[in-house]
Structure 1
């Protein structure tokens, strides 16, 4: 019998651009946040594993190169990457739902950049981009709602960070899931 754990998931939303609470960039940090205009599967998977590995992001690990490419090719999917002194520090990935909702599909920092004041600023930039997504993708309807979900397996500051950025809880769900090892950015990274 496999071990299970109880996981709480919070589904959060902003229903108006005025909900957004931005945070300033940290001082004395050579920070740039850029749209990755030619994100390929390799870079997308690098960000996913480097940021999500410590927090048990496993749902996309089995994806093939083709699955990554098909997801990235969807109209309106955007990847905004934070760089500190030229080094990728984190990202926020936006996914439009086609009905005015835009989901923050993934957001986070690489481990060495956590706790340096970058996350709230990066999230604010990503949310601003979510609210004006239709300006860059005219085939999409204007954004009416921005959503994100986080769970008890995510970083300890995740829920607090989302709430500080202006998200409200829409629903909460608690489920039992199979316990899986934290994958790290590559197999065996945390052993």
Structure 2
């Protein structure tokens, strides 16, 4: 990663069928000193002992439909199943009335750091302070690991416009940006064409006029 060249100034054409995403990386290096909050009424944070792949994908699509979450939809099935079963990958879900209302997925492979690889709520759980409670739970879990000195995550401009200010309010500091290029999963039939309405789908793309 340290040898990856930086993009020069100017426009950069994308191949047809591709999307480009501006990604912001954020971190915290110590647990914020905040009073612990009780769970919202009817909610509990429950660990996922083992994912059923279809159940994971259903929840992933429900949370990420509006924001074009795509990385796990682009992953070959065998690699996805291996990822979900990897011992260093752990997930917790806020549960209400037996229904999983969101997901916190963490990569625990680093001895001194933890990555929150996914964080999100189903649409009807957004609001009411559920996200703040869920993030505080995630921060506590991350820093409870012996030796952990850093917690990090990333968000992007395809995500909810509330995501970046929310993470900063919770104590994360932006430290880097990157451009992610990937397939438009709608064109591959892995997500409904109506998903991600803020990102228009270009069915027959061509080279742009860059002047």
TM-score by length of 1: 0.79
Which residue of 1 is the match for residue 206 of structure 2? none
Mapping for residues 30-49 of structure 1, pairs under 5 Å = 30-49=42-61
5+ unaligned residues in a row in structure 1: which ranges?
135-141
TM-score by length of 2: 0.72
Match of residue 24, structure 1, among 30, 37, 43: 37
Q: Which has the higher helix share?
A: 1
| 1:74-133 deviation per Cα after TM superposition (whole angstroms, max 9, x unaligned) | 223111101122221111000123242210000000111112321111111112111124
Cα 1:21–1:107 shift into 2, 3 Å: farther
State how far apart, in whole Å, the 2-side matches of 1:161 and 1:133 are: 24
> Across the two proteins, how many residue pairs are aligned to each other?
181
Between Structure 1 and Structure 2, whose CA radius of gyration is higher? 2
Alignment of 1:91 with 2:96, yes or no, is no
Match of residue 12, structure 1, among 26, 38, 41: 26
Cα 1:132–1:8 shift into 2, 3 Å: same
State how far apart, in whole Å, the 2-side matches of 1:111 and 1:130 are: 25
Mapping for residues 14-163 of structure 1, pairs under 5 Å = 14-17=28-31, 19=32, 21=34, 24-25=37-38, 27=40, 29-134=41-146, 142-163=147-168
Structure 1 vs Structure 2 CA RMSD: 3.0
Equivalent pair of 1:22/1:125 in contact (CA under 8 Å): no
Which residue of 2 is the match for residue 137 of structure 1? none
Cα 1:90–1:176 shift into 2, 3 Å: closer
Q: After the TM superposition, which parts of structure 1 deviate over 4 Å for at least 4 consecutive aligned residues?
A: 3-6, 20-23, 176-179, 188-191
5+ unaligned residues in a row in structure 2: which ranges?
1-14, 198-211
